[in-house]
Amino acid sequence: MALDPHTVRTARRLAAEAAEPVVALAKAHTTVSVERASLRLAGLAGADTTQLAGDVPWVNRVVDTVREHCGLEHGALLPVFHALREHSFTDLTELAEATAAGQVRFSVPTGQRRRSAEALARKHARGGVRRLRRNRSTRDRLVSKIGDPPQRPWVYLIVATGDIDEDVVQAASAARAGADIIAVIRSTGQSLLDYVPEGATHHGFAGTFATQENFRIMREALDGVSKEVGRYIRLTNYASGLCMPEMAVLAGLERLDMMLNDCMYGILFRDINPIRTFVDQRFSRQVHARAGIVINTGEDNYLTTADAVHEAHTVTVSQLLNERFAHEAGLPDELLGLGHAFEINPDIPDSFRLELAHALLARELFPDAPLKWMPPTKHMTGDVFRGYLLNGFFSLAGVLSEQAILLVGMMTEAVVTPWLSDRDLALANVRYVLNAAGNLREDFHPAPDGFIAKRANQVLGEAADLLERIVQDGLLNAIADGTFGLMKRPPDGGKGADGVVEKADDYRNPAAELLERDDDH
């Protein structure tokens, strides 16, 4: 299937033009979550567990106090490390404890004190950045020693019990049954918490809280089962919501392999302030790039609120924007798991041909990206037999379009919380399709003037037209107008807007500078 090369070039150029003002906006601002993530990279961990505090993370306590004393427009790291040096604290935890006790007054250092604080901050941040790199090397070594799954697409399966210990049991069972990637769904509403909970958790709602300790527990468990099954099992969680940068850092520190990370998902579907989201996603993607973490984008969500046929081009536009924002932050194509969804009403004539056209469009438009599709949800019903068949069609589309990551569809998806037996049957469905048709792509070539090729080029042309309008009107205005997923989100609204800070001319963040330069010196 041949896409029109001129339209492809035009669409990419327009995506870059549409993204440029937003990148400039992101560079001109910081957020409380970026400053907290920078402190985590510099080594501050743990929480204030005193009875009155109620487990407030130390990074929240310190950043909030810095903001109160001298603002965040100059950055948090220099005031923090100036205080560390001036008070001769042994480490950042001791400084945080003194901060909670009201014994520290933060200020922005100048002159030689500023240079000393900057050097100390860079030294600590370098340790965190090097840990990201070591974990990336460890992953590469384990993949080389244990082995990758023998074929693609990799089978991606969800666990979500609310209890990290039970998640471990289910994840290990899923890996033994054929899953290559385990995604731990996050507890409902965590994306709207402006802090990361501390420690292992056992009380999530429709998912398990994402914490550094939970990341560590699951990664350790999957390393064990990887050796048992003879292939490296990858771990996925979420770098989204109000703590997007912190989630990215914690994932890198604990060697997660994939993170859901989309440039507009939080804006559209969680009503998080647009500027905060773009600032946070740029920093988080710089972390992912250093840690070698594959991002999964969220275009599938658009088609749960908008028509999957008429609004297909908005998905392509989002994919192109996600690609541009990712490249600008340093993520190469091989770490760019662009999304889509199998959400066309199956009662529409030629629905599968339409699905396949959209899938093949993405594959040809992004030839080196590990694409990830979402299985049917919107049109699933209580008819589990129909659902099982739809999931088979979904897996077939994944095979024919050479997707790299195949999320396992459940026959009870969107009807009830799937039983373990539902997951077992879902894996059996995937295994059948991969075994029977895994190499069909080499024999499948849509006619250049056929329905599939024409549909793909139509959607691409509509995407280019929409991008041209976005360039004229501005991406923030397009989001405010409901262009994506029919959600209208103004740039000055949404949750977390009060956590956005415009940088002063003397803003410095040694952690961000290390990520930006992509070196450790």
Spatial CB neighbours of 505, under 8 Å, sequence gap ≥ 6: none
Judge if 39 and 78 occupy the same domain: yes
SS3 399: helix
CA dist., res. 244 & res. 283, Å (int): 9
Judge if 7 and 67 occupy the same domain: no
The residue from 236, 266, 295 where one domain ends is 236
Q: What pLDDT does 284 receive?
A: 98
Strand-strand pairing, 372-374 and 339-341: parallel
Categorise residue 262: left if φ over 0, alpha if ψ from -120 to 50, beta otherwise.
beta
CA dist., res. 178 & res. 252, Å (int): 25
Tokens at residue 85, please?
């040096």
Exactly one of 167, 257, 300, 422 is catalytic; name it.
300
Q: What is the pLDDT of residues 91-121, one digit of tens each?
A: 999 999 999 999 999 999 999 999 999 999 9
Residue 139 lies in a domain: no
Exactly one of 195, 265, 302, 388 is catalytic; name it.
265
Buried b (16+ CB within 10 A) or exposed e, 300-312: bbbbeebebbebb
Q: Dmax of the chain from CA atoms?
A: 74
CA dist., res. 111 & res. 186, Å (int): 45
CA dist., res. 66 & res. 80, Å (int): 8
Judge if 358 and 332 occupy the same domain: yes
CA dist., res. 213 & res. 196, Å (int): 11
Judge if 231 and 307 occupy the same domain: no
Q: What pLDDT does 218 receive?
A: 98
Q: What's the pLDDT band for 520 if we cut at 50, 70, 90? A: low
The residue from 64, 92, 125 where one domain ends is 125
CA dist., res. 364 & res. 166, Å (int): 40
Domain count, the chain: 3
CA dist., res. 520 & res. 67, Å (int): 28
Residue 512 lies in a domain: no
Q: Is the C-alpha dihedral spanning 90, 95, 101, 103 positive or negative?
A: positive
The residue with greater pLDDT, 425 or 499, is 499
Residue 386 lies in a domain: no
Amino acid at 489: R
CA dist., res. 375 & res. 409, Å (int): 5
Judge if 285 and 360 occupy the same domain: yes
Q: What pLDDT does 50 receive?
A: 78
372 is catalytic: yes
Exactly one of 48, 238, 280, 372 is catalytic; name it.
372
Judge if 110 and 185 occupy the same domain: no
State percent of the chain over pLDDT 90. 84
Judge if 354 and 486 occupy the same domain: yes
Q: Which domain holds residue 158?
A: 149-236
Q: Is the C-alpha dihedral spanning 297, 2, 438, 421 positive or negative?
A: positive
DSSP state of 483: T
Q: Is pLDDT of 52 > 70?
A: no
pTM given for the model: 0.94
**Mean pLDDT value across the chain:** 94
Mean of the pLDDT values across residues 347-374?
Answer: 95
Residue 405 lies in a domain: no
Judge if 337 and 486 occupy the same domain: yes
Q: Is pLDDT of 42 > 70?
A: yes
For residue 141, count other CB atoms closer than 10 A to its CB: 10
Tokens at residue 176, please?
């033994």
Residue 249 lies in a domain: yes
Q: Is pLDDT of 1 > 80?
A: no
Q: Is pLDDT of 417 > 70?
A: no
Nearest to 400 by CA among 362, 438, 430: 438
Judge if 243 and 317 occupy the same domain: yes
Judge if 121 and 225 occupy the same domain: no
